[in-house]
Amino acid sequence: MLLVAGVDVGGTNIEVGLVDDGHTVRERAKHDTPAQSPHKIVSTIVKLIEGLDGVPSAIGIGIPGVVHNGRVLEAPNLAGWDESFDIVGEIRHRFGVPVALGNDANVGLLGEWVAGAAVGADDVLGVWMGTGIGGGLILDGRPFVGSRGSAGEIGHVVIRAGGALCTCGRRGCIEAYAGRRSMEAAVTKMVAAGRHTSLFEIQQQEEKSTLTSKVWARALDEGDELAVELFDAAVEAVAVGIGSAINLVDVQLVVIGGGMAEKLGQDLVDRIERAARPWILHPSPKLKFVVAALGDDSGIVGAASIGRARLLDV
């Protein structure tokens, strides 16, 4: 039984798991993501892995950034990264085992593909609905990352050029309507303009520092008018963008994951599917929309799977 460490570096937490041949997470550990430097992130990863009971034969890491040939080319949500920092070399040097690196959203879809909702599908679009909107692609039976490792950015497919301001500075991306950060900004603006909502009260009751997926889920459940209105727009934006994506890459499976999908489940997926179908030019009779099956673990399992694949290379 080979154990592989899967490392999921997020903007908030670093999660590490020891994953077995059956893609089961045997043990896990978690720590806040240090904000100072890539070196601090490396030392946190090292400590988390050292704290695990088993010894990994390989390590895979998913990171929120553009990853190409084992290097992080851009990581706007992590402090101090540039192409010169060799995270793979640093971790490999520390543990003496093969280390693989991938983009977090791509790696998350990989987790679903090897052990979750996308097992056996040759052409898959993954859409992660959280603070932002991330994504990944499996095409022709293999993970697809594009010519420079930045494929899968479904959140920045434009659905209304010149429309709502996105976190990326452009106007009209899916993320501008459906990313939690954008949605919270819209709520704040609308409240300042005199609209009423229970969203911030729910946030306080839940003791959250932002409008989390749980807060949104409760507000929707309680029929909060503003929450319903913004969420309808979010569903429509995601649906139009998925329609565009399917017209371009003709996948047979759409996996919806992330915090929003975890809280709202197949209901959310069904709503997105109903809204997306009218935008698809040649809908395949086999096309399915499903909710991610591994939840938070998709990142760890996917990261472990790229580490495991590295064992075959050496």
Rounded-to-integer distance, Cα 289 and Cα 246, Å: 12
Q: Is 28 in the site for its own copies (CB under 8 A)?
A: no
Closest CA to 113 of 132, 88, 130, 138: 138
Question: What is the sign, positive or negative, of the torsion defined by CA atoms of 309, 311, 312, 314?
Answer: positive
Task: Report residue 304: phi and psi, to 5°.
Answer: -60, -35
Q: Is 66 in the site for its own copies (CB under 8 A)?
A: yes
Which residues, other chains included, contact 302 with Cβ-Cβ below 8 Å and sequence gap of 6+? 6, 60, 62, 102, 106, 107, 108, 109, 110, 111, 112, 113, 114
Nearer Cβ to its own copies (156/180): 156
Maximum CA pair distance of the chain? 62
Rounded-to-integer distance, Cα 110 and Cα 304, Å: 10
Rounded-to-integer distance, Cα 264 and Cα 235, Å: 12
Binding mask 275-294 for its own copies (x = CB under 8 A): ---xx-xx-x-x--------
- Smallest separation, CB 163 to its own copies (Å): 8
Q: Is 230 in the site for its own copies (CB under 8 A)?
A: no
Q: Is 101 in the site for its own copies (CB under 8 A)?
A: no
Nearer Cβ to its own copies (98/152): 152
Q: Is 113 in the site for its own copies (CB under 8 A)?
A: no
Nearer Cβ to its own copies (220/242): 242
- Smallest separation, CB 303 to its own copies (Å): 21
Nearer Cβ to its own copies (17/130): 130
Closest CA to 179 of 137, 124, 241, 221: 241
Nearer Cβ to its own copies (216/279): 279
Q: Which stretch, 18-26, 187-195, 245-253, 294-302, contacts its own copies (CB under 8 A)?
A: 245-253
Rounded-to-integer distance, Cα 31 and Cα 47, Å: 10
Q: How many residues bind its own copies (CB under 8 A)?
A: 50
Q: Is 193 in the site for its own copies (CB under 8 A)?
A: no
Q: Footprint of its own copies on this chain (CB under 8 A)?
A: 66, 73-74, 122-123, 135, 137, 139-140, 142, 144-154, 156-162, 168, 170, 172, 236-237, 240-241, 243-245, 247-252, 278-279, 281-282, 284, 286
